[in-house]
Structures are given as structure tokens and as C-alpha cells.
């Protein structure tokens, strides 16, 4: 059975990183953006990272500019923004595409393992779904990720066990992570 450990990604300096380096850890893999309405998610993500990193928890941050151009900077600019504004210490990787023909294979795998099931109820969520659908229609069946700050929880065996859309309360994400630790 394929796991996240079968993938290689690039760090923000362009070096190849085999995700088997994270074997045995609980992972939260996130596509991010610096200019999004959900960018404040960096704060609870960093709090969670600091609280749980000594228990075998890692957050893997993958900036992406495919959603309304909300991550326009280069890898160094994005990293500086995150460390200065939010004090992030968790690993940040090279900016990638998560949708379309150029989608990073890791994100295609994650989304295939845990497909999109909706943003939830409410007017705000319905508005985001409409906007996301407009943004992603160019990707057709390869619109794997619907918006920035989609989070995938991976257990210690490298299996994708949950997907959290950006509209999910971060407390619920933290509870799910804690259950795996």
C-alpha cells in the first residue's frame, strides 16, 4: 500500500527531501498562502507545532499560488513573511502547484486518499465553495484541492486519515492531531 513515505518533495532551497525522513511521526500536511483570508491559520498551526513537536508531530507547509494569486512571493519571501509575522518554526517546502497537470504528486495522492467533501454549512462556506469552483474549473478533474489551508492528517504509518478544509475550526484539527499522538 502506498503511503506519504513514498514521495519526494523539494525543500524551500530546492533540495530533494524523501518524506520517509518523517516515518513514525504524525504529520499535518498543509497548502498555504501568505495573502489569504485563512493566513491567520499560521498562528494556531504554530501553537500546535510547539505544543506537540516533542511528541513526534510535524507540520509540513507547502505554499501554493493557484488560488487567486494569494502566494505571489518567492520561497525566501514567503518564509520570511511566515517567520516574522507568525514565528513559524515548522518545515516549509518549496512553493508548488496542487491542482492541474503540474500538481505535485504528493497532493494528488493526498486528495485521492481523502477527496473533497464540502466546505460545510452556512452562507460564508457556500460563498467560498462558489468562488473556489470558479477558480478551479480550469483544472477540471485535477482540481484536487479547493482552497488554501487545506490540511491532511497522516498517522505514524504514513496513511492519510483525515482531510480538513480551511473552514474547519482549528480546535477540531488540534483534537484530531492529539488523538493520533
Structural domains of the chain, count: 1
Local confidence band at 123 (pLDDT 50, 70, 90 cut-offs):
confident
**In the predicted model, what is the mean pLDDT of the chain?**
92
What is the pairing mode between strands 16-18 and 57-63? unpaired
| pLDDT given at position 90 | 93
pTM recorded for the entire structure: 0.93
Instruction: Give the long-range contacts of residues 132-139, CB within 8 A, separation 24 or more.
Output: 132/67, 135/66, 135/67, 135/68, 136/99, 138/100, 139/99, 139/100
Q: Is the pLDDT of residue 174 over 90?
A: yes
User: Which residue would you say has higher pLDDT here, 58 or 147?
Assistant: 58
Among 26, 27, 29, 36, the one annotated catalytic: 36
- Mean of pLDDT values over 163-173: 95
Contact 24, 56 (CB under 8 A): yes
Distance of CA 72 to the CA centre of its chain: 17
CATH number for position 82: 3.40.30.10
What stretches of 57-134 adopt beta strand conformation (E)? 57-63
Percent of the chain predicted with pLDDT > 70: 100
Determine the length of the chain: 181
Q: How far apart are CA 1 and CA 101, in angstroms?
A: 24
> Which cell numbers hold the place of 52?
506537540
Nearest-10 crossing angle of helices 75-86, 42-52: 80
Per-residue pLDDT tens digits for 72-111: 888 888 888 888 888 999 999 999 999 999 999 999 999 9
Active site residue 36: yes
What is the pairing mode between strands 8-10 and 57-63? unpaired
- Determine the structural domain holding residue 160 and report its residue range: 4-180
Nearest-10 crossing angle of helices 170-180, 42-52: 20
Amino acid at each position: 500500500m502506498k503511503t506519504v513515505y513514498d514521495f519526494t518533495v523539494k525543500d524551500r532551497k530546492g533540495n530533494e527531501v524523501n518524506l520517509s525522513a518523517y516515518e513514525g511521526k504524525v504529520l499535518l500536511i498543509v497548502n498555504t498562502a501568505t495573502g489569504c483570508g485563512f493566513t491567520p491559520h499560521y498562528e494556531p498551526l504554530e501553537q500546535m507545532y510547539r505544543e506537540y513537536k516533542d511528541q513526534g508531530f510535524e507540520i509540513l507547509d507547502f505554499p501554493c499560488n493557484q488560488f487567486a494569486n494569494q502566494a505571489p512571493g518567492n520561497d525566501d519571501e514567503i518564509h520570511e513573511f511566515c517567520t516574522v509575522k507568525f514565528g513559524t518554526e515548522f518545515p516549509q517546502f518549496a512553493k508548488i502547484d496542487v491542482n492541474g497537470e503540474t500538481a505535485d504528486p504528493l497532493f494528488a495522492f493526498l486528495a485521492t486518499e481523502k477527496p473533497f467533501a464540502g466546505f460545510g454549512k452556512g452562507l460564508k462556506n457556500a460563498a467560498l465553495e462558489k468562488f473556489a469552483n470558479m477558480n478551479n474549473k480550469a483544472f477540471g478533474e485535477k482540481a484536487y484541492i479547493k482552497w488554501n489551508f487545506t490540511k491532511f492528517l497522516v498517522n505514524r504509518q504514513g496513511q492519510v486519515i483525515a482531510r480538513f478544509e480551511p473552514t474547519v475550526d482549528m480546535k477540531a484539527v488540534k483534537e484530531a492531531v492529539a488523538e493520533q499522538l
